[in-house]
Amino acid sequence: MSSFKSGFVAIVGPTNVGKSTLLNALIGDKVSIVSSRPQTTRQNIRGIKNLPNGQIVFVDTPGIHKPVHKLGEKMIKEAYDSFKTVDLAILVVDCRKRTNSETKIISELKKTEVPTILVVNKVDSIKKPLLLPIIDNFSKLGFLKEIIPTSAIKREGLQELLMVVLKYLPEGPKYFDDDILTDQYERFMVAEIIREKVMENTRQEVPHSVAVDITSWQKRDDGLISIHANILVEKEGQKIIIIGKKGAMLKKIGIEARIEIEHLLGDRVFLELWVKVRKAWREDEKLLQSLGY
């Protein structure tokens, strides 16, 4: 009889290398918001993958970058702290570029005793002959247990990655029931969906200045869930962009978010959004704590 394996696996790497896309693809459902903007993930997100002979709890961490405010510092601390509490680390890199953050992460991983697998992501974007020298250069680092090329967006290499991850996990219990995909609370997931829609629809200067605060959540007698949320920004100009001409942008964000929230909750949703200016909120320790950062 084969043994049952389980454990916690941190997905780490620089910003914008596809960590959240990889997590969602591995789980087979959306548990972490995705954007082309760097630094989208702000907190560790856990996604649970159930296999016949194991359970893998993936931890999607914030992209590691040089912080410029307290929020950024908290994000980096959360990412590095994840190294200390997992059974395995997956270092994700973009096959097309090397970064200083990547070098820093490798240096930090080398200091730990956590076994590390390298995922060379986005391999669909380069010609295959160019991939071999990249893999060869990384193999010379010495501490990596395995190197797996993947394309998370095209779901290439994922089954091989799952099998390799399971190989390095210890025998253990099932931490979560089979029907649980993530341990995140519904309020957190709803706030993240709204933030994702803001990031998808607004200009370059807006996304990282945005936070979402769920101010009211009520289930009515007719089964409708009524959700009110504040979209927080740092400047009046950002508020104007998010609201849009005659409220068109905010309405578009609300419609897109409501559709996805209804899918998440399995209920009809009434969603009301307000945009509030909170100057320098990313430096406000008390507000950051109230938002869960």
Per-residue pLDDT of the chain (293 residues; tens, 9 = 90+): 468 999 999 888 888 888 888 988 998 877 665 544 444 444 567 788 999 999 999 887 765 444 444 555 555 555 556 666 789 999 999 999 888 888 888 888 888 888 999 999 999 999 988 999 999 999 999 899 999 999 999 999 999 999 999 999 999 998 888 877 776 667 878 888 998 899 888 866 565 678 888 888 888 888 899 999 999 988 888 899 899 999 999 999 999 999 999 988 888 999 999 999 888 766 767 776 666 65
Is 95 exposed, middle or buried, given 0-12, 13-18 or 19+ CB atoms closer than 10 A? buried
Structure token pair of residue 185: 């609370």
What integer pLDDT is reported at residue 36 of this predicted model? 46
CA-to-CA distance for 168 and 186, rounded, in angstroms? 31
CA-to-CA distance for 247 and 131, rounded, in angstroms? 47
What integer pLDDT is reported at residue 43 of this predicted model? 55
The β-bridge partners of 199 are none
CA-to-CA distance for 99 and 49, rounded, in angstroms? 30
Q: pTM, whole model, 2 decimals?
A: 0.65
What integer pLDDT is reported at residue 41 of this predicted model? 46
Nearest to 52 by CA among 156, 131, 163: 163
* Residue located via tokens 């790497």: 13
Is 51 exposed, middle or buried, given 0-12, 13-18 or 19+ CB atoms closer than 10 A? middle
* Residue located via tokens 């992501």: 121
What interhelical angle do 186-201 and 248-265 show, nearest 10?
Answer: 140
* Residue located via tokens 């696996």: 9
Structure token pair of residue 135: 């893999």
* Half-sphere exposure (Cβ direction) of 208: Cα atoms closer than 13 Å: 17
Nearest to 138 by CA among 171, 92, 183: 92
What integer pLDDT is reported at residue 138 of this predicted model? 92
CA-to-CA distance for 113 and 270, rounded, in angstroms? 48
